[in-house]
Chains A and B, each alone.
Chain A
Amino acid sequence: MKNRRFATPCLLLTLAAGALLGCKKTPDSQPTVGTVSLELANMVGAKSVALDGTTYATASGETFTVSTLKYYLSNFKFTKSDGSTYAAPGEYHLVDADKAGSTAFTISQVPVGDYTGVSFVVGVDSTTTKADPLSLTGDLNPANNMYWPWSSGHIFLKLEGILTSTAKPTAFAYHIGGYRAPYNALVTAAPSFNGSTLPVRADHAPAIRFSADVLKIFDGPTAASHVPLAATTEIMSPSARSVQMAQNYASGMFTVQYIHAN
């Protein structure tokens, strides 16, 4: 504010710079980018996630309720059949089962074309986490309670509830995060399009709907990757078990329910 006396020359400079940038960014007469809509259906197996005390069961017979389910999706990368990719910059989305508006969002400025795959990070990359706190707004705001103040990093996925298959009901809290070896839980999911294509056009926005199955946090592709809830009911810092859970949800939690060309 103390630089107000420079307002006039600065304003001129700003306008000049703006004009130069503006010329460069004037869209061509033929738009070459479009928008993709994404939607998440939070599930536990075949049932929708409800935070109302509904009881769910794992394949191994443990029963539980869910009170909190939140996770970050970021670093979306779309792949065409020729192998070329488009990485969408600056997309950080906090999906919160308690906030209806958080389960659907759009990614714009995607170059037109037919895409055959997508990948995304479940979490927040360490570069962003280490960035200037000026970036800690919106979904990345630590006020969203998805942040470890003691270790400067976002929590990637948070699942809390009550384990009811134990002799006495036990509260559980799984906070998965950490981007440092040996317990790096930053994982990428690449749910298959199952042969479908995602046609991005300038004049219509195709939609992908993903299922996000909480049970897959506990079960990976092999029997060895199974993590019983009863084995540990509290994860509040990076550990071997949190990395196992991250690998589990990277490999199976997200599946494509449908792709609509619209």
Chain B
Amino acid sequence: MWLNWLPALRRLLPHWRLAALLALGGAVVASAGCSQVGGLGLAVPGTAQPANFPAMVYGLAQNPPDAATFELGRRLFYDARLSVDGSVSCGSCHQAAAAFAHAGQRLSPGVGGHPGRRNAPALQNLRWRRGFMADGGVLGLELQALAPLTDAHEMNLPLAAALARLNADPAYRRRFAAIYGPGSIDTPQFLRALAQFTAALTSANSRYDKYVRHEAGGTLTALELRGRALFQAKCSGCHATDLFTDESFRNDGLDRTFPQDSGRARITARPTDRGRFKVPSLRNVARTAPYMHDGRLATLTAVLAHYDHGVQPSPTLDPLLRQPTGRLGIALTAPEQAELLAFLNTLTDHEFLADSRLLPPQ
């Protein structure tokens, strides 16, 4: 309810009465049920709740979308001045045509060309995520940007320096002031503006989505439907719901030991979490190669082959990859793999991948 975020708004805005006024204004709009309700964020992509998705985690009320803030977030996302030497932006490693993954890059180079430590993940449907990063260390969408911004392998820019650069730019000053009021650009403003863009990256219009929602264009072939049935039987234990992830951390048998990257254990320090990584969504998976947390598998064919006969044993290997017979992995015949690939290709959302509103601002 708006009452919960009233005190927070009060801290954000320099004048609490203005904050109260805005909050009450929002409440009046919401309770009156007038046309403004439907208008909330209409100019901003990705604000509608897809019928086949669970409820949003980062709801619209937490950072009410509006066109000016979305455009500001978009500008920040594509601004290379947010890296220490001005060489990379968020968009360098998160490209729209690859569902905001980095096409063809195992480990994306950050500033100075230094490779990152993990494969740049796709950014999509972030409103529905509970934790961020492959190890779940980051607790919210707004906080997420701090990690790549300050990481020495990525943009390597201290937050204070980023804010100083924004405050030294008259155009940014004007844009922030128009939204948040006069005064210098601060951390909450910066993080929330950027989150208006990342939260807008909703992918929910693949052919598969239209099929399950019985919408026009939602036709699946017999091969794809067999693939779907197989997927439900053999893959949906982890790649669950129409988000295609259950958000859990699992060891998918890539290695026997984890000296370089212990995954979830980096955050929890629990030996039982060694080698566990966040189950990724499979939306647009045909576009997000290479695969796995370190990008070691170049193709989906290689991924299916891994699950069929490449799974390595270790104490934390996911139980779903250990069959009652003792066999490791998930047995998939060649025809079954062809069916699965056909189904996975129906998860490509061409509307999302080509949405010009999500491309760099002109």
Binding site for B on A (CB under 8 A): 1-4, 6-7, 9-11, 13-14, 17-18, 130, 132-137, 141-145, 147, 149-152, 180, 182-183, 237-239
Contact = CB atoms under 8 A, between A and B. Distances in A.
A149 B152 CA distance: 12
A133 B192 contact: yes
Interface residues of B, number: 47
Contacts, number: 110
A3 B22 contact: yes
Interface in B182-223: 186-188, 191-192
Interface in B252-282: 266-270
Given A2-B66, A3-B29, A11-B21, 7 more contacts: A2-B36, A2-B39, A6-B24, A134-B11, A136-B188, A142-B146, A238-B269
B9 interface: yes
Interface centre among A7, A133, A150 (most CB of B within 10 A): A133
Contacts of A132: 5, 8, 62, 142
B11 A135 contact: yes
Contact of A14 (B20, B36, B66, B143): B20
Given A133-B192, A180-B267, A152 B8 contact: no
A149 to B, nearest CB: 4
A58 B186 CA distance: 41
B206 to A, nearest CB: 31
A133 B142 contact: yes
Nearest to B20: A14
Given A150-B151, A180-B269, A137 B11 contact: yes
B17 A135 contact: no
A244 to B, nearest CB: 14
Contact of A149 (B9, B29, B150): B150
Interface in B141-183: 142-143, 146-147, 149-151, 158-160, 163, 178-179
B229 interface: no
A170 to B, nearest CB: 20
Interface centre among A4, A141, A144, A237 (most CB of B within 10 A): A141
Q: Secondary structure at chain B's binding surface: helix, strand, loop or mixed?
A: helix
A17 B139 contact: no
A149 B149 contact: yes
A245 to B, nearest CB: 16
B25 A182 contact: no
A113 to B, nearest CB: 28
Contact of B24 (A10, A130, A137, A238): A10
Given A132-B5, A143-B160, A151-B267, A3 B139 contact: no
A143 B159 contact: yes
A152 B5 CA distance: 20
A147 B143 CA distance: 11
Contacts of A238: 269
A141 B187 contact: yes
A135 B146 contact: no
Nearest to B17: A14
B310 interface: no
B28 A180 contact: no
Question: What 8 pairs across the A-B complex have the smallest Cβ distances?
Answer: A3-B25, A149-B146, A152-B139, A143-B160, A134-B8, A6-B25, A151-B137, A143-B159
A133 B147 contact: no
A145 B39 CA distance: 40
Interface string B1-38: 00001001101100001001110111011000000100
A254 B9 CA distance: 36
Given A17-B20, A134-B8, A151-B137, A3 B146 contact: no
Contacts of B12: 134
B36 to A, nearest CB: 8
10 contacts: A3-B26, A3-B28, A6-B25, A9-B28, A133-B143, A134-B192, A142-B159, A143-B187, A147-B146, A182-B269
Interface centre among B39, B138, B163 (most CB of A within 10 A): B138
A133 B159 CA distance: 14
A141 B158 CA distance: 12
A150 B137 contact: yes
B177 to A, nearest CB: 11
A161 B8 CA distance: 38
Contacts of A135: 8, 11
B140 A152 contact: yes
Contact of B191 (A1, A17, A133): A133
Nearest to A145: B158
A149 B187 contact: no
Contact of A134 (B9, B20, B24, B267): B9
